[in-house]
Structures are given as C-alpha cells and as structure tokens.
C-alpha cells in the first residue's frame, strides 16, 4: 500500500517547486505594484521564491500558500527598498495620467446620450469561474492590458485592499485622479472579462 509520507525527497521537492512556481505571476504583479520597476520586481520575486523553497518547513499550512509566499515577498521588498533608499534619494515621480476628459475607449462604451452601448449583458454563474485556473489567467491578461499606473492603483485597491488615501499618497496623485484611474480600471476589466470569457470568447 502506497504511503504518501514516503514520497522520495527529490519528488517532494519537484512537486513543491511546481506548486510554488505557479504563484510567480501573481507575485510579480504584487512586486510591480509596490516597486514600479520590472527588473527590481523580478529580483525580489526570485529571492522570495528561493527563500520559500529553502524555508518550506516554516509553512504551517494554516494560511494559503499564496498568503505565505506574499509575506516572504513583503520582507524582500522592504529589504530592497532599504538598499535602494540608502543608495540614492527617493525618486519623485510625476503622475503618469491626468484627470482630463475620458479617453476615447471610455466614450465608445456609451452612446451620445451617455447610455450603455452595447447594453450590459448578464454574466451566467460568475462564481463558478472562481474555481477555474483559466479564468484567473484571463483576468491576468486583462490586467496586463491596463496602463501601468492604472494597473498598479487597481491592484493596490482591490487585490491588496489598500485605503484610497494611502494609495494617493504613495502614487503622489490627487484623490479625484485616483478615483478616475480606479473607475477606468474597473470599466476596462469588466469589458475585457465580458468579451474574453463570459460571452463565449473563452
């Protein structure tokens, strides 16, 4: 009778590696939201994944693997930020988007009287999609289509659950600019999920 505890250590490592590796895309987006720099994000994610594989015995299984990996990543991000700050003064970043009129693609969702065009259609059983890996991949592809700052603000607000005021401060933008960016992100993501998943595009 096969005993699961007797899986050979190399096999266990391989299984673990695949499991941990499957969270890389999420961790990259988390790191980019915090660091705004793809290269730095790759560096910290790599460090975090290595640390996780080395310290896997510290994973109690009480939280999800994703939550545990995120907590390791947070420390790596703080480490990196300390190193960067000690090397050079903190960058003052200009807002990447202003709060001027809606871009054309927003206008195209509405007719000239401001009504939905096309009409919003119902999503059939959306919660069932939450159990599907492919649906989360579609969600990632949709997030990747957003402009950098918009994607970052959405990620901080809806994925990390950060307070809008804190996001504004971190990003150096006004509250109204923040709302505009969040609104555009939601409009675009809703439209993208509708087109790529719920209306038979999968």
The residue ranges that bind another protein (CB under 8 A) are: 22-23, 26, 30, 64-67, 70, 109-110, 113-116, 119-123, 126-127, 130-133, 135-136, 139, 154, 157-161, 164, 175, 178-179, 182-183, 186-187, 189-190, 193-194
User: Minimum Å distance from CB 130 to another protein?
Assistant: 6
- Specify whether the CB–CB gap between 188 and 177 falls below 8 A: no
Nearer to another protein, 91 or 140 (CB): 140
Nearer to another protein, 104 or 127 (CB): 127
Alpha carbons 50 and 16: distance in angstroms, whole number: 12
Nearer to another protein, 24 or 84 (CB): 24
Alpha carbons 200 and 186: distance in angstroms, whole number: 20
User: Minimum Å distance from CB 90 to another protein?
Assistant: 26
Nearer to another protein, 84 or 102 (CB): 102
- Specify whether the CB–CB gap between 189 and 157 falls below 8 A: no
Q: Choose among 155, 145, 139, 154: nearest CA to 197.
A: 139
Q: Residue 181 CA to chain centroid, in angstroms?
A: 15
């Amino acid at each position: 009778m096969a005993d699961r505890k007797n899986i050979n250590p190399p096999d266990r490592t391989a299984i673990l590696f695949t499991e941990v590796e499957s969270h890389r895309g999420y961790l990259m987006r988390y790191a980019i939201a915090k660091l705004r720099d793809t290269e730095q994000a790759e560096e910290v994610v790599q460090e975090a994944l290595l640390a996780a594989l080395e310290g896997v015995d510290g994973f109690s299984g009480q939280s999800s693997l994703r939550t545990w990996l995120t907590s390791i990543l947070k420390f790596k991000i703080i480490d990196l930020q300390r190193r960067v700050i000690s090397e050079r003064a903190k960058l003052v970043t200009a807002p990447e988007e202003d709060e001027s009129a809606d871009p054309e693609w927003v206008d195209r969702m509405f007719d000239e009287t401001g009504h939905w065009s096309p009409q919003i259609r119902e999503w059939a059983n959306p919660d069932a999609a939450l159990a599907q890996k492919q649906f989360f991949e579609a969600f990632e592809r949709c997030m990747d289509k957003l402009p950098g700052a918009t994607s970052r603000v959405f990620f901080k607000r809806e994925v990390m659950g950060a307070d809008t005021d804190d996001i504004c401060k971190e990003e150096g933008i006004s509250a109204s600019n923040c709302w505009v960016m969040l609104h555009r992100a939601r409009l675009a993501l809703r439209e993208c999920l509708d087109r790529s998943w719920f209306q038979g595009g999968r």
